[in-house]
Each structure stands twice: as structure tokens, then as C-alpha cells.
């Protein structure tokens, strides 16, 4: 089993599946925003950015599957999935805080000054919603609770692909 999992990152289709899944979630986020009228808050924008990291992590080795591209992709995938999970957990904490005066989030995204994505592409990165509002639920879970599940799955898949790779093949 470890041998099979260790060879999986050599396949372009594996990276394509990662890219397609993240692309699907980004399209879904835009559907929620523009078709259903759900305004994304700052935490949603950060989670959207983490999902973009996963999207690019899948795209890089899908286009050029080589040692260096896999190394970059694994780092980007791990960083993005774990960061997205932490942001989603923080978002749920904000929504579940019994005292809404102390549970708040920023209004303007805290992107680096050399990369003001919210100014460059406001239709995708501008935050217009409130982090404390629960505007949508499915099966009694709010959007950030679903994002905990999604980023948790991406994080587990990252570990499931990386560890056998390092143990069996001792390389990326």
C-alpha cells in the first residue's frame, strides 16, 4: 500500500485531480457570492486564498511534473491546506462566540503591501460580509464548518501522499 501511495505523485492525473477539486470549490465560492448573494467576509477571503494555493499546488506539477515542481507543489499544498484549516477553525470560533462584541474580524484583507489582491481583483478578494453572521447552512453545518472538513481532508491527503513518498522513495 505504501508503495502504491508513494508512486501516486508521479502521475499527472493525481495533480490534475487536486487542481480540479480546488477549481470546483473556487467556482462554488463564486456561485455562492454572485448567484446566491452571500457576501464573503475577511475570513472567507482568506480561506478562498488558501484554496487558491491548493489550486496552484495541483496545477504546477500537472503542467510540468518534475522533482522541483513536485517539491514546490508539496510545500504549497501543505502550507495552504493547514493555513486554510486554521483560518476555518478561527472563523467558526468567531461565529460561535457567545459575546459578539469581542468576536470580530478585520474589514480590509491583510495582504502584503506588495500584493494588494483586494485592490487588484476586488470581485474575487474584496470582503463585504460579516464574519459573525451565519447566512447559509447545509445539514446543520455553516460554511466555515464545511471548510474545516474540506481543509481537513486536503491536509490528510497531503500527509497521506507525502509520508509514503518520503518513506519509500526518499524523495519528492
Known catalytic residue: 165?
Answer: no
Known catalytic residue: 170?
Answer: no
Nearest residue to 42 (alpha-carbon basis) of 98, 104, 99: 104
Nearest residue to 9 (alpha-carbon basis) of 157, 153, 151: 157
The cell for 116 is 494588494
User: Which among 44, 70, 165, 171 is annotated as catalytic?
Assistant: 44
Residue appearing with cell numbers 460554511:
143
User: Which among 70, 131, 165, 170 is annotated as catalytic?
Assistant: 131
Q: Which long-range contacts (CB under 8 A, 24 or more apart) does 111-119 make?
A: 117/49, 118/45
User: Which among 41, 70, 165, 171 is annotated as catalytic?
Assistant: 41
Show which residues are catalytic.
Answer: 41, 44, 48, 105, 131
Amino acid at each position: 500500500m505504501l508503495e502504491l501511495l508513494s508512486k501516486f505523485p508521479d502521475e499527472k492525473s493525481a495533480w490534475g485531480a487536486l487542481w480540479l477539486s480546488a477549481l470546483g470549490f473556487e467556482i462554488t465560492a463564486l456561485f455562492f457570492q454572485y448567484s446566491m448573494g452571500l457576501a464573503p467576509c475577511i475570513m472567507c477571503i482568506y480561506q478562498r486564498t488558501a484554496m487558491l494555493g491548493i489550486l496552484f499546488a495541483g496545477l504546477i506539477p500537472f503542467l510540468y511534473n518534475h522533482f522541483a515542481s513536485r517539491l514546490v507543489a508539496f510545500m504549497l499544498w501543505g502550507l495552504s491546506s493547514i493555513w486554510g484549516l486554521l483560518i476555518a477553525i478561527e472563523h467558526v470560533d468567531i461565529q460561535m462566540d457567545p459575546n459578539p462584541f469581542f468576536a470580530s474580524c478585520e474589514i480590509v484583507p491583510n495582504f502584503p503591501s506588495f500584493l494588494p489582491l483586494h485592490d487588484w481583483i476586488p470581485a474575487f478578494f474584496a470582503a463585504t460580509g460579516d464574519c459573525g453572521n451565519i447566512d447559509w447552512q447545509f445539514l446543520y453545518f455553516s460554511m466555515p464548518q464545511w471548510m474545516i472538513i474540506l481543509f481537513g481532508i486536503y491536509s490528510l491527503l497531503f500527509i497521506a501522499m507525502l509520508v509514503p513518498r518520503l518513506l519509500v522513495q526518499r524523495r519528492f
